[in-house]
Amino acid sequence: MIEQRPAVQRPTAVVFDLGNVLVDWDPLPAIAAAVGEESAAAFLAAEDLDFFAWNHQLDSGMSFAEAEDQVARDFPHWHPHVRAYREHFEESLLGEVDGTASVLVDLDEKGVSLFALTNWPAELFPYARERFEFLQRFDDVVVSGEEGIAKPDPAVFGILRQRVRRPLEECVFVDDRQDNVDAAAAAGMDAILFTGSDQLRVDLEGRALL
């Protein structure tokens, strides 16, 4: 099921994930910019180094210097690849996810409070702020790398509660990962699994937000 708990009568805020909800993210082009597409694809499919687990350490506050040193020590054959990801990170940001920014704009124009909770390395988030104007519509953006803790860790929702300045039960949460949706629901939020902007609009209309 997409919805994890019954919707509250009238939520007061919507909390968005960013990657692959509002921002189309793919690490392949960034890595391929330095090592070629075939080698980049092999790296992302490698069994000895799980890129997404490695990247989650960055999302959780590890510095690139430490994370790259870790790879250079334990998996030296992949060190050029992780360095390429950092050096060409902008190329991993493919653009806006089709239609979601317009949902965000419509919510803003309706006066709905808007927040973001994103798993994103602190050192790389300035690229997003510079490129995506829709980020200015958020009342606040909680960046996991800046906080040192990432979804789906329950503790990040405690940080979110402080930043949204209201009970989490009053918030709708939107994320493209089921584990993050489940964690948000466990924290008391009305959580929606993002499958596309059209369905998201329907879900929000059902909550009297659009």
Q: State the pLDDT at residue 9.
A: 62
Write down the pLDDT at residue 7.
46
**pLDDT value of position 8:** 45
Cis before 152 (ω within 30): yes
Measured between alpha carbons, how far is 3 from 26 in angstroms, rounded to an integer? 26
CA dihedral of 154, 172, 107, 100, whole degrees rounded to 10: 70
In this structure, are residues 161 and 143 in contact, taking their beta carbons and an 8 Å threshold? Answer: no
The structure tokens 């960046």 sit at: 143
What CA–CA distance (Å, rounded) separates 90 from 31?
A: 11
CA nearest neighbour of 82 among 44, 119, 122, 120? 44
What is the pLDDT at residue 1? 46
Distance CA 71, CA 74 (A): 5
Supply φ then ψ for residue 15, to 5 degrees.
Answer: -110, 120
Please return the burial class of 28, using the count of CB atoms within 10 Å of its CB with bins 0-12, 13-18 and 19+: middle
Q: Are strands 93-96 and 23-25 parallel, antiparallel or unpaired?
A: antiparallel
Q: Provide the pLDDT for residue 83.
A: 98
Question: Which positions ≥6 away from 188 have C-beta within 8 Å?
Answer: 167, 168, 169
Q: Taking each helix axis from N to C terminus, what angle separates 79-87 and 27-35, rounded to the nearest 10 degrees?
A: 120
Rounded to whole angstroms, the maximal C-alpha distance in the chain is 54
Tell me what pLDDT residue 10 has: 79
Determine the Cα–Cα distance for residues 60 and 155; give it in Å rounded to an integer.
12
Return the pLDDT at 4: 54
Domain at 13-22+97-205: CATH architecture: 3-Layer(aba) Sandwich (3.40)
Compute mean pLDDT per 10 residues along the chain, 210 residues long, and list them.
53 97 98 98 97 98 98 98 98 98 97 98 97 97 98 98 97 98 98 98 96
